[in-house]
C-alpha cells in the first residue's frame, strides 16, 4: 500500500516530521514557498501541515487534487478557507489546547509589567536616566482581578493569580457556581466585575456577542484606575475609547498582546500614557510550539493511516460504520443546539439531549457532541464536536443524555433542553423525508420549520393583521422572505414566527421589527 504523503509548509518543530514517519507517512519539509510554488506542488500530497504563514486559498485547494487533510499547528485557522475545503472534501484540523499555559503565562507577565511599569522604566534607564521617582507601581497582592472568560486559559490564569494572593472574580455565561467554587473564584455579572476589579484580563474568543465587550460606556463606568490586560483576541476592546480613558486617567494602564487590526502598524493606542504592548506573542514559547507541532502530526497521521478524526473543525468524530446513519441526526442536533444557544438567556447551568424513537437506537455521543458544537459556537469560533464537550465541562456545564424507547407523535425525535434562570427552555426536531432536519417545537410551541441560513425569530401577540405588517416591513427594506413559519400556544395568546430570509438582517431592521405593533421579542438567527 502506498504511504500517505505529507507536506510541512511552515517552520515547526522537527519532531513533527519524525512522528509522521514513525506513523507510516512520507513527509517533505519545504517552507517559504510562494502561493504559486505551493499550488504547483500541492497536488502530490495527501496532507498539509501548516502554522500561520501558509494561506490555504481556493486556488491552493483547487490544485490540491489528492489532499485529504489540513492540520494547523495552533488554534487560529483564519488562514484556511474552511468552507471551500469542506466543499472539496478536505478535513481541517487544529490543536485548540496546545498553547493554553503559554498564553495564560503571558497574560500574567503583562499584568506584572503593567503593575510596575516595567517597559517604560527599562527604556528610560537604558537611555542613561535614573527615573526612580517617576515609577511608583502597585502591588498585585490583595488586588481584585476580574476574568472576562473563565474557560481553559482563564482558569489557568486564575490559578496563577490566586498563587499571587490576588482575589479573583469572573464573568462567563457558562461558568456555574460549582465550577466557580472549584476554581476558587467568585462568579459575578459583567457590570459588577468592572465596578470591583483593580485589574481586568480578557480570555474570550471574538464573536458577535463579545465584540467591543469593553465598550466606551463600560470603560467610562468601570472602577476608576482600573488596569486592563488583553492577550485573547483583538476587537474585544474599543481601542479609541481605551485611548481616551488612558489619557483621562479613568483607566490607569493597559497591556495588549492583540489588536483589532494586525499587524498593528498604526494603532490609536500607540503613544497613549501607561500603555504597553507586544506583537501577538501569547503562543510564542518553545514549549507551546513543540506541543502544537507534535499534536498536529499525531492527529494528521492518525487520520491518514487509520481514519481517526480528532479536533476536526468540519467533520465529526465518527467511525466509517456509524457515519451514514448518524450524519443526518448530527445535522439536526447541531441546528437545535445552535437555536437554543442563540435564544436562551441567563445563567445556563444544564443542558440535556433527549432521543426517542429511531434516534434512541443510535450512538448518542455524536448527537450530543453535535448539539454542544452548535450550542457553544456563538462563544467560540474554533468549537467542534471534539472540543465542545471539553469546553462545556471546563465551564461546569452539566450535560445529560436521556434515551426514551417510546415513540411519540414522530417516529424519531431529538429534544434539547437548557436550564436558565427563568426555568427550562427546550426545542425539538425530527427528520422528514430523505433525512432533512426540521424543527417541530420551540419553547413549548409547536411549529414546523427548516433551520437554514439567515432567519428572523419573533414572539408576538396572536392578533389579526400581524403577518401583513411584518411582510410589509420586510418589503419596505427590500428583504425577500423564503419561508413563513407560524406557531401559537392558544388562539389570541402568545405566538411564534420564524422567517427564512435571502439576506442577513441589519441591527436597524431588527430594532424596527421590535418596535412593531404586537411584537414582544425579535432576534436575528444564523445557521
The residues annotated with a catalytic role in the active site are: 233, 262, 280
**Who contacts 274 (Cβ-Cβ below 8 Å, separation ≥6)?**
114, 117, 246, 252, 253, 254
Residue owning grid cell 422567517 = 499
- Buried (b) or exposed (e) across 206-227, using 16+ Cβ within 10 A? bbeebebbbeeebbeebbeebb
Cβ contacts of 161 within 8 Å, gap of 6 or more: 108, 111, 140, 145, 168
How far is the CA of 8 from the CAs of 62, 167, 300, 363, in angstroms?
18, 45, 11, 36
Cell digits for 428? Answer: 425539538
Contacts of 270 (CB under 8 A, 6+ apart): 264, 277
Q: Cell 488554534: give the residue.
A: 75
φ/ψ region of 338 (left if φ > 0, alpha if ψ in -120 to 50, else beta) reads: alpha
SS (H, E, C) 173-232: CCCCHHHHHHHCCEECCHHHHHHHCCEEEECCCCCCCCCCCECHHHHHCCCCCEEEEECC
- Residue 39 CB neighbours (<10 A): 17
Q: How far apart (Å, rounded) are the C-alpha atoms in residues 77 and 71?
A: 9
Q: Which residues contact 489 (CB under 8 A, 6 or more apart)?
A: 444, 445, 495
**How many whole angstroms separate alpha carbon 219 and alpha carbon 216?**
5
Residue 231 CA to residue 284 CA, distance in Å, equals 12
| Residue 289: its H or E element | helix 286-306
Q: With residue 328 as reference, give the H or E element that holds it.
A: helix 323-343
Cell of 308: 481517526
Task: Give the cell for residue 267.
Answer: 494603532
Amino acid at each position: 500500500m502506498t504511504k500517505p504523503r505529507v507536506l510541512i509548509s511552515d517552520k515547526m518543530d522537527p519532531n513533527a516530521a519524525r512522528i509522521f514517519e514513525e506513523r507510516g507517512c512520507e513527509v517533505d519539509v519545504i517552507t517559504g514557498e510562494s502561493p504559486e510554488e505551493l499550488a504547483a506542488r500541492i497536488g502530490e500530497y495527501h496532507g498539509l501541515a501548516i502554522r500561520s504563514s501558509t494561506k490555504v486559498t481556493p486556488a491552493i485547494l483547487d490544485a490540491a487534487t489528492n489532499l485529504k487533510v489540513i492540520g494547523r499547528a495552533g488554534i487560529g485557522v483564519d488562514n484556511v478557507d474552511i468552507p471551500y475545503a469542506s466543499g472539496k472534501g478536505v478535513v481541517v484540523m487544529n490543536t485548540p489546547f496546545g498553547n493554553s499555559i503559554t498564553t495564560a503565562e503571558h497574560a500574567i507577565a503583562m499584568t506584572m509589567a503593567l503593575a510596575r511599569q516595567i517597559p517604560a522604566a527599562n527604556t528610560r534607564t537604558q537611555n542613561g536616566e535614573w527615573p526612580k521617582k517617576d515609577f511608583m507601581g502597585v502591588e498585585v497582592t490583595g488586588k481584585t482581578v476580574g476574568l472576562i472568560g473563565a474557560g481553559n486559559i482563564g482558569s489557568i490564569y486564575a490559578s496563577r493569580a490566586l498563587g499571587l494572593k490576588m482575589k479573583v472574580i469572573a464573568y462567563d455565561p457558562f461558568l456555574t457556581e460549582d465550577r466557580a467554587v472549584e476554581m476558587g473564584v467568585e462568579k459575578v455579572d459583567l457590570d459588577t466585575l468592572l465596578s470591583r476589579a483593580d485589574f481586568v484580563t480578557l480570555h474570550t474568543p471574538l464573536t458577535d456577542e463579545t465584540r467591543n465587550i469593553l465598550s466606551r460606556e463600560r470603560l467610562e463606568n468601570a472602577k476608576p484606575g482600573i488596569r486592563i490586560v488583553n492577550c485573547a483576541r483583538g476587537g474585544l476592546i474599543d481601542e479609541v475609547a481605551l485611548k481616551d480613558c488612558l489619557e483621562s486617567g479613568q483607566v490607569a494602564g493597559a497591556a495588549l498582546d492583540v489588536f483589532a487590526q494586525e499587524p498593528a502598524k498604526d494603532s490609536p493606542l500607540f503613544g497613549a500614557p501607561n500603555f504597553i504592548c507586544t506583537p501577538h506573542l501569547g503562543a510564542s514559547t518553545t514549549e507551546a510550539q513543540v506541543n502544537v507541532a507534535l499534536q498536529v502530526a499525531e492527529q494528521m497521521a492518525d487520520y491518514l493511516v487509520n481514519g481517526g478524526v480528532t479536533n476536526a473543525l468540519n467533520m465529526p468524530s465518527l467511525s466509517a460504520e456509524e457515519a451514514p446513519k448518524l450524519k443526518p441526526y448530527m445535522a439536526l442536533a447541531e441546528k437545535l443546539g445552535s437555536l437554543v444557544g442563540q435564544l436562551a438567556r441567563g445563567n445556563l447551568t444544564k443542558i440535556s439531549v433527549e432521543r426517542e424513537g429511531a434516534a434512541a437506537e443510535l450512538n448518542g455521543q455524536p448527537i450530543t457532541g453535535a448539539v454542544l458544537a452548535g450550542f457553544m459556537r456563538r462563544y467560540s469560533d474554533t468549537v467542534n464536536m471534539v472540543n465542545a464537550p471539553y469546553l462545556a465541562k471546563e465551564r461546569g456545564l452539566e450535560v445529560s443524555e436521556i434515551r426514551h424507547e417510546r415513540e411519540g407523535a414522530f417516529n424519531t425525535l431529538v429534544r434539547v433542553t437548557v436550564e436558565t434562570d427563568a426555568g427550562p427552555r427546550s426545542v425539538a426536531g425530527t427528520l422528514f423525508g430523505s433525512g432533512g432536519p426540521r424543527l417541530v417545537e420551540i419553547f413549548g410551541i409547536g411549529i414546523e420549520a427548516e433551520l437554514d441560513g439567515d432567519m428572523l425569530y419573533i414572539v408576538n401577540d396572536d392578533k389579526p393583521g400581524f403577518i401583513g405588517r411584518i411582510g410589509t416591513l420586510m418589503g419596505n427594506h427590500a428583504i425577500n422572505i423564503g419561508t413563513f413559519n407560524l406557531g401559537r400556544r392558544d388562539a389570541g395568546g402568545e405566538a411564534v414566527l420564524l422567517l427564512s430570509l435571502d439576506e442577513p438582517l441589519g441591527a436597524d431592521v431588527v430594532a424596527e421589527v421590535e418596535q412593531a405593533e404586537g411584537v414582544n421579542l425579535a432576534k436575528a438567527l444564523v445557521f
